[in-house]
Chain A
Amino acid sequence: MGFGPLLLLAILEGAVTAAVLALTAVGLSLTFGIMRVVNVAHGEFFMLGAVLAWFVSQWFPDAPLLAFLLAMVVCPLVVAGVAVLADVLILKRLHYEPEATIVATIGLLYIFQQAALSFFGPNARPVAPPFNFRVQLPWFGYSGYKLFVILAAGVLLLLVWLLITRTKIGLVMRATQIDRTTAKAFGINVDRVYAMTFGIGAGLAAIAAVLVVPIQQAHYLMGGDPLLLSFIVVILGGLGSLRGTLIAALLIGLLDGLLSTAFFFPPTFAKIVATLLVALVLVFRPEGLFGRRTA
């Protein structure tokens, strides 16, 4: 394969990574931006989505398309439900105090991992893709499902954007983000906004996992990488800024595709550089690479 087609392949692979990452990271960014909660269990919501998608696929072994469509609806709803419960039962009672919520979400991380290990088992399990067709390009064939993932993630992100900017729910969420006390004074039920935000954030991670699980297998420890990458993206984009998160996800995803597909960069070394970079960005440019300095 010549360099041009290889580059195209790398960009396609990068776009798939970026699409899934953007969905997951926007979920994390929402909870951080609106609730000021650093959700360490976010990666586990992703993992739960993937594991649940496997269970759904076992109900309909002969109809992968039906199982996929069902999983797209059921998994995010179940995971969002779990998240709302966690918010009402734990985070709310901690009054969203940053240190306590971090410790509590670390606890949740272990509880979810153990639940998955006990009920799902220690092995990675594949989920059949809903459809199998290859898009034949002049140089290579490319999985049609992966192209669908990019498209679906784009549509979902558009829906999130519409929800935040064009609906009453979004307006209430933004008001709570800007000033919690004033929002309360204007009769907004802040508790309900927080529970809903936490649920939506977790649901986005779950739906990203449902999309990715036919490409990557479901495993009880799969939440680590999405968590780390989402953190990286949210921090580079500027904590709490949705637009920054999207740009950073695109950048990191494409970079990942280029480095691993076209230049055969050792992934561990790339991860070391990326984590150190994030730490240094937080130290020297806490508003993120694309954020504006605010008082």
Chain B
Amino acid sequence: MRDRALLSHLGLVAVLMAAHWMLPAYHHDAVAKVLVLSVYAMGYNIAFGYTGMLSLGHALFFAAGLYGAAMPLTLWGWTGGPALAAGLVAATVLAAAVGLLALRTRGVSFMIVTLMFAQAGYLTILYLGRWTRGDEGIVIAQPLRRIMGLDLSDGATRYLAALLLFVLGLLACLHLVRSPFGRVMVAMRENEERARMLGYNPFTVKLAALTLSGLYSGAAGAAYALMFGYAGASLAGVQYSILPMLWVLLGGAGTVAGPFLGCLLMFYLIDYASVITSATLLVVGVALVALVLFAPKGALGALRDRLGKEGRAWLP
């Protein structure tokens, strides 16, 4: 097989499949959570890493998926499949709507506008506490968390379902960034004016990328609700907009596998740090500052640069 990028990413999938049989119970559950959250990070990477849109409001899309699935399940008695679809639709539509407004701005204004929209969404969740249960959150009972006869609250099923979602996201992202459209996305990041001169409309390209990014975030949110049975306002707060950015920066912005690596590293960094100290916020803060100062390209980005031409072939 000559396609080295496909080979390296299928290798990652094979390792994760093998991990299903080898990991002890605690780490098995932890990696399942990391897989779902890395789908969110991959979505963020499509907007930030590839298209150059630094959003501070992605928690809005994650929460749309989360509540879009959790509320039909618990309030209106929907089943798992339609609830998952509702989460996807809610997040995608919201991302397109936010994009239509926010993409009229750029740079610092874009960051603040997305931050403000996400903040408004977070406050709305608190305000509609009668249905969303605000800070306390919705706990989804085990019998509701089924999809096509599969019980997603069972550890093994959950891991495999999370892996399936992750693999779909990973391969779609790999295909996207190597397609002509993916190259136009990168062109927007590198030099918007030049791309415009070549005849591409920056607004529609960025809107499409942001909507797709919202779809990924919503898929992660809806899967999170079904697999872990919880939807709370804390998952819609500013911190959940910052975390995917942190994961992407750590793993390598603009690399397909970077979001997963960053999410995994950060999860275990906080996990191990919490044994020594309760100062988990400090870990997040220091990681952010250290990354922008010393490793702005992240782990895989630095590796790709070091490997030169081979690096670009293996790690798109």
A and B: bona fide binding partners: yes
Q: Which residues of A contact B287 (CB under 8 A)?
A: 107
CA of A266 to CA of B126 in the docked complex: distance in angstroms?
Answer: 12
Q: Is B181 an interface residue (CB 8 A)?
A: no
| Chain B contact residues, majority secondary structure | helix
Q: Which residues of B contact A282 (CB under 8 A)?
A: 105, 109, 112-113, 116
Q: Is A186 an interface residue (CB 8 A)?
A: no
Q: Per a CB cutoff under 8 Å, which of B54, B108, B116, B292 touches A276?
A: B116
Q: Is the CB of A90 within 8 A of B112?
A: no
CA of A64 to CA of B124 in the docked complex: distance in angstroms?
Answer: 41
Q: Is the CB of B117 within 8 A of A279?
A: yes
CB distance from B276 to the nearest CB of A (A): 13
B138-197 contacts to A (CB < 8 Å)? none
Q: Which residues of A contact B116 (CB under 8 A)?
A: 231, 275-276, 278-279, 282
Interface-facing stretch out of B2-10, B87-95, B216-224, B278-286: B278-286
Q: Is the CB of A113 within 8 A of B281?
A: yes
Q: Per a CB cutoff under 8 Å, which of B107, B284, B291 touches A110?
A: B284
A237-295 contacts to B (CB < 8 Å)? 266, 268-269, 271-272, 275-276, 278-280, 282-284, 286
A89-112 contacts to B (CB < 8 Å)? 90, 93-94, 98-100, 102-104, 106-112
CB distance from B56 to the nearest CB of A (A): 8
Q: Per a CB cutoff under 8 Å, which of B127, B289, B296 touches A111?
A: B289
Q: Is B293 an interface residue (CB 8 A)?
A: yes
Tally inter-chain residue pairs, CB-CB below 8 A. 107
Q: Is A235 an interface residue (CB 8 A)?
A: yes
Q: Which residues of B contact A106 (CB under 8 A)?
A: 242, 285, 288
Q: Is the CB of A98 within 8 A of B281?
A: no
CB distance from B247 to the nearest CB of A (A): 13
B217-257 contacts to A (CB < 8 Å)? 242, 245, 249
CA of A110 to CA of B285 in the docked complex: distance in angstroms?
Answer: 5
CA of A272 to CA of B129 in the docked complex: distance in angstroms?
Answer: 14
Q: Which residues of A contact B124 (CB under 8 A)?
A: 272
Q: Which residues of A contact B293 (CB under 8 A)?
A: 90, 93-94, 104
Q: Which residues of B contact A94 (CB under 8 A)?
A: 292-293
Q: Is A117 an interface residue (CB 8 A)?
A: yes
Q: Per a CB cutoff under 8 Å, which of A38, A118, A231, A271 touches B123?
A: A271
Chain A: CB-nearest residue to B124:
A272
CA of A279 to CA of B293 in the docked complex: distance in angstroms?
Answer: 30
Q: Is the CB of B282 within 8 A of A103?
A: no
Q: Is A78 an interface residue (CB 8 A)?
A: no
Q: Is B309 an interface residue (CB 8 A)?
A: no
Q: Is A114 an interface residue (CB 8 A)?
A: yes
Q: Is the CB of A110 within 8 A of B111?
A: no
Q: Is A228 an interface residue (CB 8 A)?
A: yes
CA of A79 to CA of B15 in the docked complex: distance in angstroms?
Answer: 49
CB distance from B136 to the nearest CB of A (A): 15
Q: Per a CB cutoff under 8 Å, which of A109, A117, A275 touches B120?
A: A275
Chain B: CB-nearest residue to A36:
B108
Q: Is the CB of B281 within 8 A of A114?
A: yes
CB distance from B209 to the nearest CB of A (A): 17
Most buried by B among A99, A112, A284, A286: A99
CB distance from A287 to the nearest CB of B (A): 11
Q: Is B104 an interface residue (CB 8 A)?
A: yes
Chain A: CB-nearest residue to B117:
A279
Q: Is the CB of A268 within 8 A of B112?
A: no
CA of A231 to CA of B109 in the docked complex: distance in angstroms?
Answer: 11
Q: Is B74 an interface residue (CB 8 A)?
A: no
Q: Which residues of B contact A231 (CB under 8 A)?
A: 112, 116
CA of A235 to CA of B113 in the docked complex: distance in angstroms?
Answer: 10
Q: Which residues of B contact A107 (CB under 8 A)?
A: 284-289, 292
- Given the known interface contacts A104-B293, A268-B123, the answer about A283 and B285 at a Cβ–Cβ threshold of 8 Å is no
Q: Is the CB of B113 within 8 A of A111?
A: no
Q: Which residues of B contact A271 (CB under 8 A)?
A: 123
Q: Is the CB of B119 within 8 A of A275?
A: yes
Most buried by B among A90, A102, A117: A102
Q: Is the CB of B127 within 8 A of A108?
A: no
Q: Which residues of A contact B112 (CB under 8 A)?
A: 38, 231, 235, 278-279, 282
Q: Is the CB of B111 within 8 A of A102?
A: yes
CA of A111 to CA of B249 in the docked complex: distance in angstroms?
Answer: 18
Q: Is the CB of A38 within 8 A of B279?
A: no
Q: Which residues of A contact B101 (CB under 8 A)?
A: 279-280, 283
CA of A107 to CA of B113 in the docked complex: distance in angstroms?
Answer: 20
- B 272-314 to A, binary, CB cutoff 8 A, 1 in contact else 0: 0000000111101111110111001000000000000000000
Q: Is B64 an interface residue (CB 8 A)?
A: no
Q: Which residues of A contact B282 (CB under 8 A)?
A: 110-111, 114-115
Q: Is the CB of B123 within 8 A of A114?
A: no
Q: Is B102 an interface residue (CB 8 A)?
A: yes
- Given the known interface contacts A38-B112, A235-B112, the answer about A111 and B120 at a Cβ–Cβ threshold of 8 Å is no
Q: Which residues of A contact B107 (CB under 8 A)?
A: 98
Q: Which residues of A contact B123 (CB under 8 A)?
A: 268, 271-272, 275
- Given the known interface contacts A110-B284, A228-B119, the answer about A102 and B126 at a Cβ–Cβ threshold of 8 Å is no
Chain B residues engaging chain A, CB cutoff 8 angstroms: 54, 56, 101-102, 104-105, 107-109, 111-113, 116-117, 119-120, 123-124, 126-127, 242, 245, 249, 279-282, 284-289, 291-293, 296
A and B contact pairs by CB, cutoff 8 A, 5 listed:
A100-B292, A103-B291, A107-B285, A114-B285, A286-B109
Shortest 9 CB-CB distances between A and B: which pairs? A107-B288, A110-B285, A111-B285, A107-B289, A114-B281, A279-B116, A114-B282, A275-B120, A107-B285
